[in-house]
Amino acid sequence: MTRTFQAASAGDTDESDSGGDRGASGLSRRSFARLLGAGAAAAVGGAGLASTARAAALKLAPAALSHGAPLQGLPAAGAAKGGAGAVVRLSANENPYGPSPAAFDAMRDAFSVTCRYPDEQVTALTEDIARLHGVDAAQVLLGAGSSEILNLAAVAFTGPGRPAVAADPSFESLARHARRHGAETLAVPLAADFRHDLPKMLAAAPDPGLLYVCNPNNPTATITPKADLRALLGKAPERTMVLVDEAYFHFVDSDDFETVIPLVATHPNLVVTRTFSKIYGMAGLRCGYAVAQPAVISRLREHQAFDSVNILALAAARASLRDAEQVSRGRRLNREVRAAVCAELDRLGYAYIPSSANFMMIDLRRPVAPVIRELRQHNVEVGREFPALPHHLRVTIGTADQMQAFLAAFNQVVAGRG
């Protein structure tokens, strides 16, 4: 059962032309490049890296696969130019530039040990992460993406009489697992600025098993200010776990944001999750982790299957942590392309929620579900509908070419400028 708490007050965010310089959107290739500025060249460089990465991936695969159909989610031939049959996938907040080249090298090398269980590699990555965050290895738990950690937390800390409390809308995975475990889930509407309403979340139940804070939040790409999050941790009951999901941590530029991993030392009821799916481009490999005090990690591990993270993902994750350029390049490309998209939306007169992540929500001023279907007919896949924000369209920030394809389709479907 899911209950929604209403706010107390009334107030509670391709290029597809066929030879000409201007696409159906009215946005020319030159004008979009000007919006990107120096970032346009960087984005092209990033796309080149993605192409290199895809080529490396095919070298890892059996020869038969390399001659088959394109892998699902990867562009077909001609996709960069908006060719026929190309699908622009902007639906799952994925990193369009893919993993680090070092990650591909590490996976290729790891094939020689895929006949072994990954015990040593689990230990090695756990120690790498512990050093990164200045914690003990006993405070780190790996998972098949941070989604597995959310599942474990729902099983470990919620149940009949111990509800899960989350914002509405937010990432739904934890609440879904809590319901399957017999727990009530309490959905608290976002505040007027589309951020978590932490006081209302804290007051939603007298004895919640878990408070879930996605920061930055999915789908709104908004942050919870550091002072507000510290206040929540200071007021939450000792037996209520607070899980802060930092999947999109690396994309944040705001000075009003901070990771709460250092606060684990003084808050026994705090769990922080991270993932290699986003900035590290490893969504299909499934690797994430939690940081908490040792007793909490032990409690989570009790519900985990053995060896849930595969040996290739472990190798890729270790290599990615050593490639600092993967993070800085990904942040830069995302920031520059996002800014160009925002500038074009401003020109078109469409409002959007300011984004601190690799996706954004655009206010269409009309129901979003039909638009999602129509964009799909234009070979553009965008995010699903979020009932709490029925007029907002979630769009992943892709490459410069992909976002120009989106804007062309957007103009035809929404702005009626085909």
- Residues 123-137: pLDDT tens digits? 999 999 999 999 999
Q: Which residue has the higher pLDDT, 317 or 67?
A: 317
Residue 30: pLDDT band with limits 50, 70, 90: low
What percent of the chain lies above the pLDDT cut of 70? Answer: 79
For residue 245, pLDDT over 80 is answered with yes
Calculate mean pLDDT across residues 388-401: 98
Q: What is the 3-state secondary structure (H, E, C) of 320-359?
A: HHHCHHHHHHHHHHHHHHHHHHHHHHHHHCCCEECCCCCE
pTM of the model: 0.84
Task: Tell me the CB-side half-sphere exposure of residue 388, using CA atoms within 13 A.
Answer: 25
Provide the terminal-to-terminal Cα distance of the chain, rounded to the nearest Å. Answer: 44
Q: What is the pLDDT of residue 86?
A: 84
The rounded mean pLDDT for the chain is 85
Residue 353: the pLDDT is 98
Domains and CATH numbers, the chain: 14-98+328-415 (3.90.1150.10), 102-322 (3.40.640.10)
pLDDT of residue 271: 98
**Spatial separation of the C-alpha atoms in residues 354 and 57, rounded to whole Å:** 35
DSSP annotation string for 170-232: S--HHHHHHHHTT--EEEEE--TTSS--HHHHHHS-SS-SEEEEESS-TTT-PPPPHHHHHHH
Alpha carbon dihedral 230, 231, 235, 239, in 10-degree steps, equals -20
- Predicted confidence at residue 317, as pLDDT, reads 98
Instruction: Please tell me the predicted confidence (pLDDT) of residue 16.
Output: 33
Our CA dihedral for 342, 344, 345, 348, rounded to 10 degrees, sits at 160
Inform me whether the pLDDT recorded for 78 exceeds 60: no
Question: Residue 29's pLDDT band (boundaries 50, 70, 90)?
Answer: low
- Length of the chain equals 418
| pLDDT for 37 | 57
- Quote the CA–CA distance of 197 and 211 in Å, as a whole number: 12
392, β-bridge pairs: 363
How many percent of the chain have pLDDT more than 90? Answer: 78
pLDDT band at 347 (very low <50, low <70, confident <90, very high): very high
Asked whether the predicted pLDDT for residue 332 surpasses 90, the reply is yes
Across-strand partners of 394? 361
Average pLDDT over residues 221-234: 97
Residue from 322, 338, 312 nearest 96 by CA? 338
Q: Spell out the residues 6+ positions from residue 3 whose beta carbon is closer than 8 angstroms to its own.
A: 184, 185, 186, 187
